[in-house]
Structures are given as structure tokens and as C-alpha cells.
């Protein structure tokens, strides 16, 4: 019988493939979304009647606190809009002689308003409020959600801004205002 000749390249290639597969598997098993999902399921299974009574009274207190926090957030966004409008109005008054610059400011105000409206309409009920601020370096979006900002929401917001402006992903900054 003739001995089988094994090429070193095939051994290296096979070990790389096995290592890559192991890394993907470990990444999947240790992913935060999977762990969070498992913890929620465990917590739901462990609840008893006694705990649910305590939890419901705690939930009422938390809802009242959340409503107060949401009102503070809404007040923050109202103040931001007022400040933004005052600033743009001051600039447009100063630049009243420069018609092109004034038109640019008006265009930015329209874009900001349209972006805010689209974000509010395309997000779920989890969104509390948002403010868009366009500058020469890019667009800043300040958002507040009842829960954490998700990657899906980031993609939606960036997609809206890219469609309404000429900014790319690096020029769009999303800032989360936490409750």
C-alpha cells in the first residue's frame, strides 16, 4: 500500500475552519441578546403569587416615577426646540443682507423639522421625543426612548437622515437622552 501524503496547507486550512466555527459558536452562546432572553424567561418562571402582589405595587410606583421622568424629558425637548429656534432666528436676522445664507438656514430648519416628523412617525411607541440639529459638520439627533436605544432604531434613524440630507453615517450622530 502506498502511504497517504497529507499536505501541510490542508491541515492549516482545516484547523482555521474549525477554529472559526468554534469562535462563531462561542460568540452565539455568549451573545448579550441570548443571555437577556434566557434571564427574562427564568425570571418569569420563578414569580410566585406573593411576589406578583409586591411587584404590582412596585410597578404602580415605578409608573408614577416614569411618568414624572417622561415629563422631564418632554420639557427638555421643548426647551431644546425653543433654543434651536431662537438661535436660528438670531442668525437669520444677522444674515438678513446675505440672501443665500438666509435661504440655507431656512432649508436647514425645514430639513430638521421633516427629519423629526419622520423619526416620530417611523418609530414605535417606545420613542418619547427627538430633536434634529443640522450643522456644517453633520446632523445630531437627540432621542429619548422609554427603554434603551436599539441597533434597529439607530439604523432607522440614520436611514431617515441620509434620505433627507447628504450626510453619510459618520456625519450622523445619535445622542440618547436617558430617563
* Domain assignment of residue 168, yes or no: yes
pLDDT in tens, 93-135: 776 677 788 788 888 888 998 999 999 888 877 888 889 999 8
Give a yes or no: residue 20 inside a domain.
Answer: no
Is 106 part of a structural domain of the chain? yes
pLDDT single digits (tens) 71-83 = 887 888 888 888 8
- Reduced to 3 states, what is the DSSP secondary structure of residue 140? strand
Return the CATH number at 113. 3.30.300.30
Q: Is residue 14 part of a domain?
A: no
Residue 47 lies in a domain: no
The CA-atom distances, in angstroms, between 37 and each of 32, 33, 44, 72, 110 are: 8, 6, 11, 31, 41
Q: Is residue 15 part of a domain?
A: no
Q: How many domains does the chain have?
A: 1
Q: What is the pTM of this model?
A: 0.56
Cα separation values, 173 from 67, 88, 149, Å: 27, 20, 13
Owning domain of residue 101: 61-179
C-alpha cell recorded at residue 32: 448579550
Amino acid at each position: 500500500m502506498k502511504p497517504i501524503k497529507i499536505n501541510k496547507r490542508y491541515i492549516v486550512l482545516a484547523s482555521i475552519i474549525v477554529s472559526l466555527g468554534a469562535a462563531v459558536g462561542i460568540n452565539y452562546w455568549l451573545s448579550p441578546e441570548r443571555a437577556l432572553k434566557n434571564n427574562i424567561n427564568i425570571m418569569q418562571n420563578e414569580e410566585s403569587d406573593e411576589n406578583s402582589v409586591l411587584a404590582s405595587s412596585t410597578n404602580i410606583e415605578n409608573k408614577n416615577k416614569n411618568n414624572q421622568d417622561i415629563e422631564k424629558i418632554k420639557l427638555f425637548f421643548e426647551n431644546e426646540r425653543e433654543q434651536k429656534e431662537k438661535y436660528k432666528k438670531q442668525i437669520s436676522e444677522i444674515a438678513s443682507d446675505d440672501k443665500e445664507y438666509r435661504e440655507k438656514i431656512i432649508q436647514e430648519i425645514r430639513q430638521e423639522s421633516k427629519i423629526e416628523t419622520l423619526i416620530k412617525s417611523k418609530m414605535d411607541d417606545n420613542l418619547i421625543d427627538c430633536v434634529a440639529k443640522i450643522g456644517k459638520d453633520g446632523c445630531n439627533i437627540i432621542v429619548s426612548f422609554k427603554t434603551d436605544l436599539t441597533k434597529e432604531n439607530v439604523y432607522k434613524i440614520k436611514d431617515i437622515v441620509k434620505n433627507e440630507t447628504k450626510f453619510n453615517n459618520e456625519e450622523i450622530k445619535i445622542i440618547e437622552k436617558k430617563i
